[in-house]
Structure 1
Amino acid sequence: MIMDIASIFKLQKDFFNSHQTKDIDFRKDMLVKLKHILKTNEDQLYDAIYKDFRKGKFETFLTELNLVYNEIDFFLKNLKKLSKPKKVKTALNLQPGKSYIHYDPLGVTLVIGAWNYPYQLTLSPVVSAIAAGNTCMIKPSELPENTMHLLADLINTNFSSNYLHVVRGGVPETGELLKLRFDKIFFTGSPKVGKIVYEAAAKNLVPVTLELGGKSPAIVTETADLDVAVKRLVWGKFLNGGQTCIAPDYLLVAESVKPKFLQLITEKLQEIDYSDGAEHYTSIINKRNFDRILGLVDQSKVIYGGNFNAESLYIEPVIMDHVGWEDPVMQEEIFGPVLPVITYSNYDDVLNKIIEGEKPLAAYLFSNNEEEKDKLLKLVSFGGGCINDTLMHITNDYLPFGGVGNSGIGNYHGEFGFLTFSHQKSVIEKTTWGEPDWKYPPYTDKKMHWLKKVL
């Protein structure tokens, strides 16, 4: 397959230069076709992801396919409006004339997907690339092997390789792709691999969007509705077996409410079936990640959970108490079903501690105090987040999704995805009459006088 990558890239370059992808009806037809392929093969999609890490149908639809369908529907409804040149104000010194922003597709794009949501995090950026009028080479993660092969089968047999093509394989194939001079690279994954992608892209001056991760905090203040906080935190943390880039990574709980909070979260975990093999609870993707997650657990600090099964790669939800900032579990993104709890007594101190670290991909605050909300939003830089909820900001097509600093570069979803895969071309259209001659030689004091007045 490595030998074919360059030739497929050339085919896509030639097809893009034929200008067929710029046609709005063509883009919409391709989006309709993609949605039809996915819907027709939903059962296969469910089977493949279950084989990879026991992800059930309901969760797969809710967190993967549903979001892709919604993204497609957004563009089918709004693409004509988004693609239309946008008229903007024209400065006095440019009169008489008009100013526009034209939205050009970038060209041949590369989307490198992530393993934890192999459908959503691979196909959603592809949808944006299609909507913006590009061709796309697609590299799903090889870790969920069954979903990788199924995506390749579905796309490569239904679309021409000169338009969309899925590349199978692992690190060698990704390395070959990164040598090519794409017009855009979109990567979802860890900061560590993101740096490799960024460095490779820089050699060819290829623009890059990086959707990365980090330790996303969740704060529970003394004004929080604890029942609501527990319900939404448990769902957001242990969805997909904790393998979610925007999952609450650790909890900061006010000292005055921590005893009640820990009681409620323990009761909630006992109430929900998180047993080995439960349909709504996903296994860990592989043995390497399984061992890494367990290595972060300090058994002396576990107050709930901790059972595991190496054969099925099952880790029961774990709550750790009396955790300090220097503990091993606080030194890296957990990306698994382990929730450390840090106690705080001063809200301002805890915000300063977050600010000292890398900018997180997400942040969550459970509070009914307006001053606490304002302080978080004004003082702490993070990609996106929720107040009194978790994860749900990712579901709104009218919000940009992306990181900041170490958690990512750029964003997408809805209009923001369209802009990510487009070039905003600036155009001034002037009349052929009525232009003053002050900008043309010979320059005089009188012209300088009017120049200063106009400019």
Structure 2
Amino acid sequence: MGELVYTPVEDIEQIRTDLKNGFKSKKLQNLAYRKNQILQLAYLVQDNFDAFKDALRADLGRPELEAYFIEINPTINNILKIYNNLEKWAKTEKAPFSIQFTAMNPVIRKEPKGTVLIISPFNFPMWLSLAPVAGAIAAGNTVLLKPSELSSAVSQLTAELIPKYLDADVCRVVNGAIPETTKCLELQWDHILYTGSGGVGKIVSAAAAKHLTPVTLELGGKSPAVVDPSCDIALTSRRMLWGKFTNSGQTCIAPDYVLVPRAFQDTLVDALKARYAEFYPDGAAKSESFSRMITGRHFERLKGLLEATKGTIVVGGETDASQKFIAPTIVRDVKFDDSLMQDELFGPILPIVPVDNIEEAIEFINSRDHPLALYVFATSAAVKSQVFDNTQSGSCLANECLMQCGAHGLPFGGTGASGSGYHIGKYSFDTFTHLRASMDSPSWIDKIIGGRFPPYTKSKLTSLNKLQLPTLPARPVKGVVATGATNGSAKRWGTLALALAVAAVLTGKHVYLLPYLPGWFTSLLRI
């Protein structure tokens, strides 16, 4: 793999200017041109499957199956989904029907924001770079991509391939570390998407605030998994271990820790140990199905946490600094204040925290920042509802892990400390799109609401109020919950009056009044 070549800091502002000029050229207003660039991006992936697979192996020790299943395939599928749906997503929408305004032709125009900055992470360096780039271009923006310097092989490969497939005034790559990222953040952008840690997310937000730049933050946090005794224990152990140890635990939505009733902890641990033996029969160190830590610094951090834990390691625990290897590790009897429970682990260590009951699990989850994901393993519908209805998280899954990111149509994003905003698929298009309100109001409207113009009079106020003011439902009675029932008789009379009014208007040729009559008559009849 080639060495990562940093972009000269002094070149970054000119790169931004080139992208700004690309946006000003208006060529991205043409949907066919956007689709051409998006399709080129898809071929960038397809033509270089082996190169990306090898780069992921070099950066993360990523096994081939994992490389395709959790990164390469989702990336190209996401790009193709955007390509196939662009015309539908970009189409101007009619505003929801409104009696008062429908004749003014209110519509929502889908317009690009301008030139955007995407800062992507090391853990999914291909997918979380190229998928949002596709969404940004689909929305009509030009893009500066700043990939992580930690995933150096993938970042260098991306920097070499982008100019071969995409126009230079549409998408560029800046490689580097803190100085290069700092320079990017000093410049003004029309939107910033950052994926990474909460600490850096605060830095990005502060820099964006200087220019009032909108920001989408995809952060992380400690995502809990709640296990109920009603669960299918074989399914639970299989999916939980896969979700935790895939990518060596370096996944922002991996289950960070497990909350389980004390009486069920032994059953869960036994099942996890059995599944572990199936996953890694000769041990994880010799397995071709397990990744490595991204850097020595990340390795040392996790090694220190393992050494400090007061819990009991029941499987794993081995480390090898020369390989940046932390064995998949399960730790039982972990307390709330343990070293493993302070910050997001972002590694292959699974703490199991015993609780008295599901209520205590929920209470503990709610005592911490909102996580990016929350998992519950149970067959009981009541338990699943209890956990989901009484917690907050970016996503919530029952009896599954990680799969929400690959499900087309689902938003990917956090809440509170785990992030703000969404992307992936249509949500990337929406994130980088400005919804521009528009109207084209005919002259005859003034015959109906001409009373809005000075000089103001009591009669004008009376007429406008009849057109505009709604009739509220019955006033709530303290201690009584409204059922939402309506007066059917009044509705029928209102419908009859409306039909007679429409007939009168049509025979009198006062067609311009038609859109306003329902509101007026229902107001008079207090429906």
Report the TM range for the smaller structure's normalisation.
over 0.9
**Which residue in the other structure is 1:431 paired with?**
442
Q: Is the CA contact (8 Å cut-off) linking 1:90 and 1:98 kept in structure 2?
A: no
Q: State the Cα distance separating 1:210 from its structure 2 match.
A: 0.4
**Which residue in the other structure is 1:182 paired with?**
189
Counterpart of 1:221 (choices 228, 246, 258) is 228
Counterpart residue identity of residue 363, structure 2: N
Secondary structure, aligned partner of 2:454: coil
Using the alignment, how far apart are the partners of 1:95 and 1:219 within structure 2? 49
Larger radius of gyration: 2
Pair 441,92 (structure 1): closer, same or farther in 2 beyond 3 Å? farther
Secondary structure, aligned partner of 2:322: coil
User: What residue ranges of structure 1 are gaps of 5+ in the alignment?
Assistant: none
**Which residue in the other structure is 1:362 paired with?**
373
Counterpart of 1:328 (choices 339, 343, 346) is 339
Across the two proteins, how many residue pairs are aligned to each other? Answer: 455
Q: State the Cα distance separating 1:380 from its structure 2 match.
A: 0.6
Counterpart of 1:89 (choices 77, 83, 96) is 96
Report sequence identity in percent: 36
Using the alignment, how far apart are the partners of 2:87 and 2:53 within structure 1? 33
Using the alignment, how far apart are the partners of 2:454 and 2:46 within structure 1? 66
TM-score using structure 2 length: 0.85
Does 2:294 correspond to 1:285? Answer: yes
Using the alignment, how far apart are the partners of 1:8 and 1:184 within structure 2? 16
Deviates more, 1:86-95 or 1:40-49: 86-95
Secondary structure, aligned partner of 2:17: helix
Deviates more, 1:69-78 or 1:200-209: 69-78
Using the alignment, how far apart are the partners of 2:89 and 2:323 within structure 1? 47
Using the alignment, how far apart are the partners of 1:394 and 1:116 within structure 2? 14
Query: 1:233-248 maps to which residues of 2 (within 5 A)?
Result: 233-248=240-255
Secondary structure, aligned partner of 1:48: helix
Instruction: Kindly provide the CA deviation profile for residues 30-77 of structure 1, in whole angstroms up to 9, marking residues without a partner as x.
Output: 111111121111111111121112112211111111111111111122
Secondary structure, aligned partner of 1:397: coil
Q: State the Cα distance separating 1:90 from its structure 2 match.
A: 4.6
Counterpart of 1:262 (choices 265, 269, 283) is 269
Instruction: Kindly provide the CA deviation profile for residues 71-94 of structure 1, in whole angstroms up to 9, marking residues without a partner as x.
Output: 111112211010000112353333
Counterpart residue identity of residue 229, structure 2: E
Q: Is the CA contact (8 Å cut-off) linking 2:331 and 2:349 kept in structure 1?
A: yes
TM-score using structure 1 length: 0.98
Using the alignment, how far apart are the partners of 1:341 and 1:147 within structure 2? 34
Deviates more, 1:330-339 or 1:49-58: 49-58
Counterpart residue identity of residue 377, structure 2: F
Counterpart of 2:285 (choices 270, 276, 300) is 276
Query: How well do the aligned residues superpose, as a CA RMSD in angstroms?
Result: 1.3
Using the alignment, how far apart are the partners of 2:311 and 2:208 within structure 1? 45
Counterpart residue identity of residue 447, structure 1: K
User: What residue ranges of structure 2 are gaps of 5+ in the alignment?
Assistant: 1-7, 469-527
Query: 1:58-137 maps to which residues of 2 (within 5 A)?
Result: 58-94=65-101, 96-137=103-144
Say which structure, 1 or 2, has more relative contact order (CA 8 Å, 6+ apart). 1
Task: Point out the structure with the larger strand share.
Answer: 1
Q: Is the CA contact (8 Å cut-off) linking 1:95 and 1:430 kept in structure 2?
A: no
Q: State the Cα distance separating 1:275 from its structure 2 match.
A: 2.1
Pair 296,14 (structure 1): closer, same or farther in 2 beyond 3 Å? same
Using the alignment, how far apart are the partners of 2:98 and 2:124 within structure 1? 47
Using the alignment, how far apart are the partners of 1:413 and 1:207 within structure 2? 17
Pair 182,332 (structure 1): closer, same or farther in 2 beyond 3 Å? same
Deviates more, 1:119-128 or 1:402-411: 119-128
Using the alignment, how far apart are the partners of 2:104 and 2:299 within structure 1? 63
Q: State the Cα distance separating 1:299 from its structure 2 match.
A: 7.0
Deviates more, 1:102-111 or 1:340-349: 340-349
